[in-house]
């Protein structure tokens, strides 16, 4: 329990040490807004975990920081890959990419951006503590061949290399060295460094003050290259972000005009928001919400079953799957703002298998499976969920707990704020848990590599395979897809990987979320299905 306690203490210090960070940033706070300054105030039910872009591979945190740190390449409004700090690129041979970097870019502290920062960022993002290093598994080296040219060498041909680099936010070599933040603080070990609560990117907005879980203030970067190229269209001078955990309070803040935008919006409040003259944005998200089960330990941490692990038995995993009435969850809890998941990726991700079906809801079959596995009277387990990360997360877990109880499985639900929740499950101190996943590459291989691939010694592959599912067959299929350029053959390999995961009940897919945001009528913004929120597209009248 020592490592878990240390992680929780460190996460708590990250959340509440904002006062010290604010004092360090006092000088930055003494800036004057233009005479007709436009302030954009918005809220989410949770906060970014840290200001460090390699600390935690979570959509909200990565999206938040993409406004401060420019990614190597970006996705445009149509989710197509577009230039960012990498301005152009060409494939020299199957293993070599030559990239020309954008000239004239400066970090927020005035330091010029060069190829040295890209090489440094590569070494940093692939270091031990980085949560993004699985995205770089196919890269052998990144070398500077000029002040604005880098050459990327891959170990094997990679058909979707650039897709992996859309979440790679580039950091300043000098700033990290000056502030003793060369190494990434490891969230799984409860570590912290200067980059956790401070930032120095090249992006559209500059961090002014940070009080975790309370308020974060940023100002417009007038020198951002994106304003000059037309990428950025925002007229916002200041961004004020305030997490508001309670749905009712968050909606009330929008309706009263205290904030200009919120996400997520509870779907049941959409009518009230529209009646107030405000805007509602809604579309399918690329996220799959699912449940994971510890399939590695010989004895579960939180169970009355002693001397063995019931989750090692496929029949038990299938029983828990078939005990869940997902249609009821979508109808009653999600109010129709979700679609039951057939597998671990959404339909518009490359590699999705349209022929796959969910296992049917059948509590009688589930009871029979438990009896066959030797648990006719069921058993008890621990069940970890967040209460401020996914849409209706705690309510969903409460419903699942009730459904499992009907087949004799007593789940002792622990629903916590996401910082404490993630510290626990990332340390693999869990028996059953909820998780959501958005493949940053919009490709199934991302899900296979991160969620289902056997966790390796370096903790690169299978980094989020927190239930420790192990299938040599799935690993082999993923490895083959990694280097396959024939689209049809590659798609088939990815689908076979998903089929293997379903056949073995590696996880229990629940549903695909719908993205629901709301804003004042005075705000125009762009909603992406990735749930990234780019402030440089926000315009306020």
Please indicate, yes or no, whether residues 406 and 437 belong to a single structural domain of this protein: yes
* The pLDDT of residue 36: 84
Please indicate, yes or no, whether residues 293 and 268 belong to a single structural domain of this protein: no
> What is the number of domains present in the chain?
2
Question: Would you say 511 and 435 are in contact if contact means Cβ atoms under 8 Å apart?
Answer: no
Please indicate, yes or no, whether residues 215 and 260 belong to a single structural domain of this protein: yes
Please indicate, yes or no, whether residues 256 and 316 belong to a single structural domain of this protein: no
Please indicate, yes or no, whether residues 372 and 267 belong to a single structural domain of this protein: no
Q: Packing angle between helix 487-503 and helix 472-482, nearest 10 degrees?
A: 160
* The pLDDT of residue 459: 65
- Report pTM: 0.83
Output the CA torsion 416→419→424→425 (10° steps). 90
Separation of alpha carbons 111 and 105, rounded Å: 9
Please indicate, yes or no, whether residues 419 and 481 belong to a single structural domain of this protein: yes
Residue with tokens 């954008």: 102
434-455: pLDDT as tens digits: 999 999 899 999 999 999 999 9
* The pLDDT of residue 24: 39
Please indicate, yes or no, whether residues 251 and 303 belong to a single structural domain of this protein: no
Q: Which CATH number do you get for residue 99?
A: 3.40.190.10
Closest CA to 436 of 67, 166, 60: 60
Q: Which residues contact 334 (CB under 8 A, 6 or more apart)?
A: 267, 391, 392, 396, 511, 514
Please indicate, yes or no, whether residues 225 and 328 belong to a single structural domain of this protein: no
Separation of alpha carbons 325 and 337, rounded Å: 16
Q: Where are the alpha helices (DSSP H) in 17-135?
A: 18-24, 26-29, 59-65, 115-125
Largest CA distance in the chain: 74
Q: Which CATH number do you get for residue 446?
A: 3.10.105.10
Please indicate, yes or no, whether residues 246 and 273 belong to a single structural domain of this protein: yes
Question: Would you say 321 and 357 are in contact if contact means Cβ atoms under 8 Å apart?
Answer: no
CA distances from 198 to 67, 127, 220, 306, 374 (A): 14, 20, 16, 46, 53
- Which residues share a beta bridge with 98? 90, 151
Strand-strand pairing, 139-146 and 149-154: antiparallel
| Gyration radius from the chain CA atoms | 23
Half-sphere exposure of 410 (CA within 13 A, CB side): 8
List phi, psi (to 5°) of 144. -90, 125
Please indicate, yes or no, whether residues 401 and 526 belong to a single structural domain of this protein: no
Separation of alpha carbons 463 and 452, rounded Å: 9
Residue with tokens 């005075």: 522
Residue 85 DSSP symbol: S
Please indicate, yes or no, whether residues 240 and 341 belong to a single structural domain of this protein: no
Closest CA to 279 of 296, 298, 302, 262: 262
Domain hosting 468: range is: 284-515
- Which residues share a beta bridge with 338? 513
Per-residue pLDDT of the chain (541 residues; tens, 9 = 90+): 333 333 333 333 333 333 334 333 434 444 455 668 999 999 999 999 999 999 999 999 999 999 999 999 999 999 999 999 999 999 999 999 999 999 999 999 999 999 999 999 999 999 999 999 989 999 999 999 999 999 999 999 998 999 999 999 999 999 999 999 999 999 888 899 999 999 999 999 999 999 999 999 999 999 999 999 999 999 999 999 999 999 999 999 999 999 999 998 998 899 999 999 999 999 999 999 999 999 999 999 999 999 999 999 999 999 999 999 999 999 999 999 999 999 999 998 999 999 999 999 999 999 999 999 999 999 999 999 999 899 999 999 999 999 999 999 999 999 999 989 999 999 999 999 999 999 989 999 999 999 999 998 776 799 999 999 999 999 999 999 999 999 999 999 999 999 999 999 999 999 999 989 999 999 999 999 999 999 999 999 9
Please indicate, yes or no, whether residues 189 and 138 belong to a single structural domain of this protein: yes
* The pLDDT of residue 460: 78
CA distances from 404 to 62, 242, 365, 371 (A): 34, 36, 13, 14
Element housing 69 (H / E): none
SS3 content of the chain, % helix, strand, coil (to 5): 35, 25, 45
Residue 525 DSSP symbol: -
Half-sphere exposure of 439 (CA within 13 A, CB side): 25
Question: Would you say 145 and 118 are in contact if contact means Cβ atoms under 8 Å apart?
Answer: no
Q: Give the rounded distance of the alpha carbon of 422 from its chain centre.
A: 12
């Amino acid at each position: 329990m020592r490592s878990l306690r240390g992680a929780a203490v460190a996460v708590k210090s990250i959340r509440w040490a904002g006062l010290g960070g604010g004092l360090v940033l006092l000088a930055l706070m003494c800036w004057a807004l233009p005479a007709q300054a436009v302030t954009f105030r918005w809220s989410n039910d949770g906060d970014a975990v840290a200001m460090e872009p390699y600390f935690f591979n979570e959509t909200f945190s990565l999206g938040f920081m993409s406004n401060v740190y420019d990614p190597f390449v970006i996705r445009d409004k149509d989710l197509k890959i577009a230039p960012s700090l990498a301005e152009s690129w060409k494939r020299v041979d199957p293993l070599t990419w030559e990239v020309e970097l954008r000239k004239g870019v400066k970090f927020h502290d005035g330091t010029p951006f060069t190829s040295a920062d890209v090489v440094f960022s590569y070494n940093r993002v692939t270091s031990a503590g980085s949560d993004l290093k699985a995205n770089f598994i196919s890269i052998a080296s990144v070398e500077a061949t000029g002040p604005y040219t880098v050459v990327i060498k891959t170990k094997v041909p990679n058909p979707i290399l650039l897709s992996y680099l859309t979440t790679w936010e580039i950091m300043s070599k000098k700033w990290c060295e000056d502030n003793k933040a060369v190494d990434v603080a490891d969230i799984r070990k409860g570590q912290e460094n200067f980059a956790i609560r401070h930032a120095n990117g090249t992006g559209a907005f500059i961090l002014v003050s940070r009080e975790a879980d309370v308020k974060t203030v940023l100002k417009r970067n007038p020198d951002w290259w994106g304003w000059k190229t037309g990428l950025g269209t925002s007229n916002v001078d200041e961004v004020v972000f305030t997490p508001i955990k309670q749905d009712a309070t968050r909606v009330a803040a929008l309706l009263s005009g205290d904030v200009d935008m919120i996400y997520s919006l509870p779907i049941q409040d959409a009518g009230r928001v529209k009646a107030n003259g405000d805007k509602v944005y809604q579309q399918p998200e690329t996220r799959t919400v699912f449940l994971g089960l510890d399939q590695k330990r010989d004895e579960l941490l939180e169970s009355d079953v002693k001397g063995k692990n019931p989750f090692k038995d496929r029949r038990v995993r299938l029983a828990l799957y078939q005990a869940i009435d997902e249609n009821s969850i979508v109808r009653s809890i999600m109010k129709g703002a979700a679609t039951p998941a057939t597998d671990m990726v959404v339909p518009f991700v490359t590699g999705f298998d349209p022929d796959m079906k969910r296992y049917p809801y059948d509590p009688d079959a589930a009871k029979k499976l438990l009896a066959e596995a030797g648990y006719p009277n069921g058993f008890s387990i621990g069940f970890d969920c967040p209460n401020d990360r996914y849409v209706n997360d705690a309510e969903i877990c409460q419903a699942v707990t009730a459904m499992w109880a009907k087949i004799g499985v007593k789940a002792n639900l622990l629903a916590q704020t996401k910082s404490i929740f993630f510290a626990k499950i990332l340390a693999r101190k869990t028996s059953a848990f909820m998780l959501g996943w958005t493949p940053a590459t919009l490709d199934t291989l991302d899900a296979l590599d991160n969620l289902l691939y056997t966790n390796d010694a370096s903790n690169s592959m299978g980094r989020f395979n927190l239930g420790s599912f192990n299938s040599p067959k799935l690993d082999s299929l993923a490895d083959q897809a990694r280097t396959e350029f024939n689209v049809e053959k590659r798609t088939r390999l990815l689908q076979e990987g998903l089929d293997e995961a379903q056949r073995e009940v590696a996880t229990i897919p629940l549903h695909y979320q719908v993205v629901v945001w709301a804003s004042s009528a005075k705000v125009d913004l762009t909603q992406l299905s990735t749930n990234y929120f780019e402030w440089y597209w926000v315009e306020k009248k």
